[in-house]
Amino acid sequence: MDEPVIKAVGVTKRYDGVLAVDRVDFAVARGVTAGLLGGNGAGKTTTLSMLLGLLVPTSGTVEVLGVDMVRRRYDALPRMNFSSPYVELPNRLTVRENFTVFGRLYGVRHLRERIAALAEALALTPLLERPTGKLSAGQKTRVALAKALLNEPEVLLLDEPTASLDPDTADWVRSFLEDYRTRTGATILLASHNMAEVERLCQHVMMMRAGTIVDRGAPGELISRYGRQNLEEVFLDIARAPNLGAPNPGAPNTSAPSGGASGSAAAE
């Protein structure tokens, strides 16, 4: 079996005594779209930041593309990228200027042509000369995604990739991401609160609660295991479980829709 493209082993992060991520283990194979799910404060953003090498784990190891992200992250970063609507690009720069700056940082060849192609693909051409700070929230989301694709990354980390988009545009962006993964063989890890989006895009999901992965599997497997109709109901089971214990593979689900998550899977 090929080595996983993303690998976290025993990853823990503490902030001044607060345990944000607790002994997390997971792996994502090449060409897979995986979801990292959980409520606010579950540890998703901290985990993504450690995968990018922006945060150093208190303990454990993080590898991306076979590179230790604590010791050698600059060997992997040119082959990765990240998008979040909550991370502002320089507001005074135009969209084109932002793309140019980041494209040069990534060492993108034929940058002008690459910007033009991405702008056309993501319907951003009319916005290229506008200051980024003057864009709507939905426009900023599409600009952030385009920025993340400038270097055609092999590993794409996405935080709420369709936040603030209308349903039609969000659907179009999801199709774009599906096509990108199929065309390039990229590995995508996304954090999202949109469970219908996760069901559509992800082959594998990991459910986080209080800094720990408490369940994982293909969306269909989780839905079946919990006896639910969709992934949102599974999410609610996990979020509302009063005493979510150790993972218990294959346990039947007997909870009411607002009850606990009795059917949790073992960590891989």
Domains of the chain: 6-217 (3.40.50.300)
- pLDDT over 60 at 21, yes or no: yes
Query: What is the DSSP secondary structure assignment for residue 251, as one 8-state letter?
Result: P
- pLDDT over 80 at 57, yes or no: yes
- Cα gap 221→171, rounded to integer Å: 24
- pLDDT over 50 at 264, yes or no: no
Of residues 253 and 151, which shows the higher confidence score? 151
- Cα gap 51→143, rounded to integer Å: 22
Contact status, residue 208 vs residue 48, Cβ threshold 8 Å: no
- Cα gap 96→33, rounded to integer Å: 29
Contact status, residue 58 vs residue 40, Cβ threshold 8 Å: no
Contact status, residue 27 vs residue 7, Cβ threshold 8 Å: yes
Of residues 240 and 146, which shows the higher confidence score? 146
Tens digits of per-residue pLDDT, 98-143?
999 999 999 999 999 999 999 999 999 999 999 999 999 999 999 9
Coil, strand or helix: which one is 148? helix
Coil, strand or helix: which one is 205? strand
Structure tokens given for 172: 């179009």
Q: Please report which residue ranges of the chain form alpha helices under DSSP H.
A: 44-51, 73-76, 95-106, 111-121, 137-149, 167-184, 195-201, 219-226, 231-240
User: What is the number of residues in the chain?
Assistant: 268
- pLDDT over 90 at 23, yes or no: yes
- Cα gap 29→86, rounded to integer Å: 27
**Threshold 0.75, pTM exceeds:** yes
Query: Would you state the torsion angle of the CA atoms of residues 66, 111, 115, 76, taken in this order, to the nearest 10 degrees?
Result: 10
Q: Angle at CA 195, nearest 5°, toward 193 and 200?
A: 130
- pLDDT over 80 at 250, yes or no: no
